[in-house]
Structure 1
Amino acid sequence: MEKRGKGTRIMERPPRPAPDARVLEKIKHSFIVMSGKGGVGKSSVSANLAVALANKGYKVGLMDIDIHGPDIPRMLGLREMIRINGNKKMEPVSYSPNLSAVSIESLMPDKDTAIIWRGPVKHTAIRQFIGDVDWGPLDFLIIDSPPGTGDEPLTIANLIQDARAIIVTTPQEVALADVRKSIRFCREVDMEIFGLVENMSGFACPCCGRVLDPFGTGGGQRTAIEAGIPFLGKIPMDPAVVACGDAGISFQDRYPKSGVTGAFKRITDKMGRLLNKRE
């Protein structure tokens, strides 16, 4: 238990050494994609952000630190196993010339293996994903984390000091209540919140074209304004996103003119503007 200001927080942050500094020096921007609760499409946002950035010509790494429920390999159709190269480093699995990924699932011969690990072992695995992987020079490292504020995001806060958080929510109040906990977490561990994304924001009826809001609308933007953090944008619902993820096909490559593809393009454009402004 640790005192901070007027409040008390319960937090375990073991003073462990950072991964090889030479690895982190080659990564320009690191973003951890977080959510306060499950079911908001965080992994879908992580994968599509990585694809959108890679399609812009950036060199992108996608690191799946959801140890117990890794989804990234299946969403991107990555069936290869991680290999050890001549430098005795793990070689990330290539999705495209500009995008490669690492996940615990890519180390398991049986994809249905249950990972039954406690915090210290997960910490070690994530540390290896950073320091023992031959990422090469990257413009962006996108880190897909499990929902909540547990071991995995805390490990990233410990190991990558300049990592920034992108928080994903859906518009309804239940999700927003959990988002506020993620915001508090970031502030407690001194992690910069780069922005908030509202996913599943509106659905265009394929029959009449009318936009419906099954989960409400605008809640993410209101929460961002109240918290004083940037709002990166809204992503509409599209059943084809689920179908493509299940089939391991890039939605943006299959539907380049869709509203979802346009939303990710606008979000990555805004990310670029914010980074240029801060630098």
Structure 2
Amino acid sequence: MAKKKNTKPHNEMSFLDHLEELRWHLIRSVFVVVIIGCIAFVMREFIFDTILFGPKKMDFPTYRFFCKAATFLGFDSAFCADKLPFTIQSRLMAGQFSAHIWTSIWAGFIIGFPYVLYEMWKFISPGLYEKERKNSRGFILIASFLFFLGVLFGYYVVAPLSINFLGTYQVSAEVTNEFDLASYVATVRSAVIACGVLFELPIIIFFLTKVGLITPEIMKKYRKIALVIVLILSAVITPPDVASQIIVAVPVLILYQISIYISKMVLKREAKKEAKLKKG
């Protein structure tokens, strides 16, 4: 059955009309995610053997880079090992099938993120002023770029460092690392999705500043606390060496500093608008 098009102006729509409009935006988003997920489901070998299990192999680009860097500096490194000392297994009857289904859905979401963002923007944008819509034309492009940049950072930096550290960690020689498939997939997925969302920080700060919840002064005030939190998180997800922690922490701190600049820029624009209104 075809969708009944709502011809009412956005500011005259009732609460139920808004819900109906949101429902169709969500349906279209889910449809695209499912279609891409079905394609990912068919490409099982590429998704699992090449993408997901890539950080498990010692010829992964990240490990080669750290190995060459350590060799150049004259240090021994765990990144130069032949293989990681753990195996992956599935202990549940439907474990592999379940992992296949959910991994395909998450792949659909990651690849289809720009379209999901586009649908959400189509729902929100009618409530904005014309000038605000014009100033936000690059929103989808910038937000998608930052998300994919975060995904790549998570996949090539956070995920392999986490897998290398956790895969080689032993409390005793008596314990053998045999990880469940769901646990391994969750580690990679969490690193990728978390970094994708984390890299949206400048966009989030932009909107929080627009609504008056964040100011540059607040961000500067809590910058030291943010630095400590980032370093703690870096220490948790990386091997116990300073170089790896810095590699993870630096991009996040750069994003934080960029967010302060964006917050300043938003407040300057708002001040100029108020000044023009007063003159008018």
User: Which TM class, normalised by the smaller chain length?
Assistant: under 0.3
Structure with larger RCO (C-alpha < 8 A, sep 6+): 1
Say which structure is richer in strand: 1
Relative to the length of structure 2, the TM-score reads 0.21
Say which structure is richer in helix: 2
Relative to the length of structure 1, the TM-score reads 0.21
If you compute each CA radius of gyration, which structure gives the higher value, 1 or 2?
Answer: 2
